[in-house]
Amino acid sequence: MKESDLYPPIKAFLVAQGYEVKSEVAGVDIVACRDDEDPVLVEMKTGLTLALVHQGIARQSISDWVYLAVPQVRSRKALAANLRLCRRLGLGLIMVRLSDSHVTVSVDPKPYKPRKVKARRGRLLNEFARRVGDPNTGGTNRVKLVTAYRQDALRCASFLSEHGDSKGADVAKGAAVAGATNLMRSNHYGWFERVGRGVYALTTDGAKDLERYGKESPIELAVELADELAIEPGAD
């Protein structure tokens, strides 16, 4: 596949819209003009690369109608990501199906106005407030995270290890974990078991983990366990 393979179908598409089209004008891959309207500028690549995005951003100093043009992608996930990127940058996106030269304008250029999602903001701030200390290292990849949920679970496990079978309300108070009963009921790590009405005990696996690491601090223990335990529900 060559970049030039995209030109004929895109030109034909624009001509059909009433544009006069010329290529390689002042460094721009495709320039289309119609009456007194702003020119349509199209930059082409065989894939949506950072270089193509840079070109598109540079062309925005010439016209508000700047499109990036690439071959059609089959992955819905990749397409969705490309659309989000173009919308945020105020760029248009043209997809060309080379098998039959079909051209699709996936998104037109327009100013981007980010929509704030209050629920996500709330989750972020709640996690920030509940997390004790700063047990993770920013910028690390493919490692299990120590989140507030994990820290809460470790405090509950430590309490049960010290006090034995306990009511959820007692664990909540003693371990300073308001949602202790629900946490132990969900038993995400396999550390807890219900042994009576509202009463929970530490499982063999939970006891082994606490004994093996031998740490009194839930935060220190969380750091050591982070590489072995699954990320808890709702963690990003």
Domains in the chain (CATH in brackets) are: 3-107 (3.40.50), 132-225 (1.10.10.10)
Cα–Cα nearest to 148, from 118, 178, 174, 169: 178
pLDDT value of position 139: 60
Give pLDDT tens digits for 144-180.
677 788 888 888 998 999 999 999 999 999 988 989 9
pLDDT value of position 142: 66
Q: For residue 87, which phi and psi values (nearest 5 degrees)?
A: -60, -40
Q: For residue 92, which phi and psi values (nearest 5 degrees)?
A: -90, 165
Catalogue the E-assigned strands of 28-112.
28-33, 40-44, 65-71, 92-97, 102-107
* Ranges of the chain whose pLDDT falls below 50: 214, 216, 219, 223, 226-227, 229-236
Tokens of 215: 């740490």
Please list, in sequence order, all residues whose beta carbon lies within 8 angstroms of the beta carbon of residue 162, skipping any fewer than 6 positions away. none
**Beta-bridge mates of residue 115:** none
Q: Can you tell me the distance from the alpha carbon of 163 to that of 205, in angstroms, rounded to the nearest whole number? A: 17
Query: Do 147 and 182 meet the contact criterion of CB atoms below 8 Å apart?
Result: no
Q: Can you tell me the distance from the alpha carbon of 122 to that of 119, in angstroms, rounded to the nearest whole number? A: 5
Query: Do 184 and 171 meet the contact criterion of CB atoms below 8 Å apart?
Result: yes
Four-residue CA torsion sign, 213, 178, 146, 186: positive
pLDDT value of position 69: 95
